[in-house]
Amino acid sequence: MEKTAEKASLVAADKQKSYSEYFNKRSSVRAFNIGEQVVLLIPDSSNKLYARWTGPGEIVEYHPPHSYKVRLADGTVRHVHVNKIRKYYPRSLAVGVIFEEDHDFGEINPTPNTSDVDSRELCEKIDLNHLRDEQRNELCGLLFRHKELFTGKMKVTKVGAHRIRLKPDAERKKPFVYRIPEALKDKVDEQIDELLALDLIEESDAEIAYPIVCVNKKDGSMRLLPCIERRDCL
C-alpha cells in the first residue's frame, strides 16, 4: 500500500506539472502591481458551471510566475491565475466621467468651503504692519461690515429672472431612467448631501429626473454637473 501510494503521488505530481505547463502555454503576459484594482473571472455563486466577472478586487500578493492573490470587497482572498484577471476600469451608464482638461464644460469650480471665517480673525491673519493705525482700523471696519462675504454659508444670489417660453400642447418626452454605478454611488450621495447642506439644491418629487455628469478632479475628488435637456419642450 505504501509503494502504491508513493507511485500515485509521483504520477499525480507529474500530471499536475504537465497540466500546469499546458495551461500556462496560453497565459497572457500581464503584470499587476500590489494594491491595483482588478476584476476576476470566477464561478457564479448560483451555478458553478457559469463564470462571471467579479470585482473590483485588490492585488495583495504575487505568486510567480502566473498567479496573484486578490482580496475581494467581502474580505475573501482568492488565488487566481493571471488569465482570469483583468484590470478594473470604472465605467458608468448615466454618469459620464470626464477630466478637468476637457474645456467643453469650462472651468470646474470646487464646492464652496462651509467653514466660517470671523472678520476679527481675518484681520489678525492679514499682515497689516505696513499700514498706519488709522488705516488698519478702517480696513478692519470694512471687513466687519462685509463679513457675510467671508463666510462659507452660501445664499441665493439676487439676479434677474429667466423666462422660458414653452410650446403649447407639446408632448413631454420622458427621459430614460439610468442607474448610478455602484462604484460612484457613495461619492454621488456625498456630493448630494453636501449640496443639500449648503441649500444649493432641494429635494423634488418630480417624475422627470435628468442625468448627471461626474467630473474626476486631479486631486481625486469628484464634482457633479447636471445635464438638463430643454430643447424638446421649447
pLDDT tens-digit map of 23-77: 666 666 678 889 999 988 888 766 667 778 888 899 999 988 788 999 988 888 9
Most confident of 81-85, 100-104, 114-118: 81-85
Question: DSSP alpha helices (H): ranges in the chain?
Answer: 2-25, 119-125, 133-145, 182-197
Higher per-residue confidence, 223 vs 91: 223
Residue 229 CA to residue 213 CA, distance in Å, equals 13
In a 3-state reduction of DSSP, which class is residue 109?
coil
Residue 83 CA to residue 185 CA, distance in Å, equals 30
The answer to whether 139 and 128 are in contact (CB under 8 A) is yes
pLDDT digits (tens, 9 = 90+) for 155-201: 666 667 777 787 888 777 766 667 777 878 888 888 888 878 877 77
139 class by beta-carbon count within 10 Å (0-12 exposed, 13-18 middle, 19+ buried)? middle
In a 3-state reduction of DSSP, which class is residue 216?
strand
How many CB atoms are located within 10 Å of the residue 58 CB? 17
pTM, rounded to two decimals: 0.33
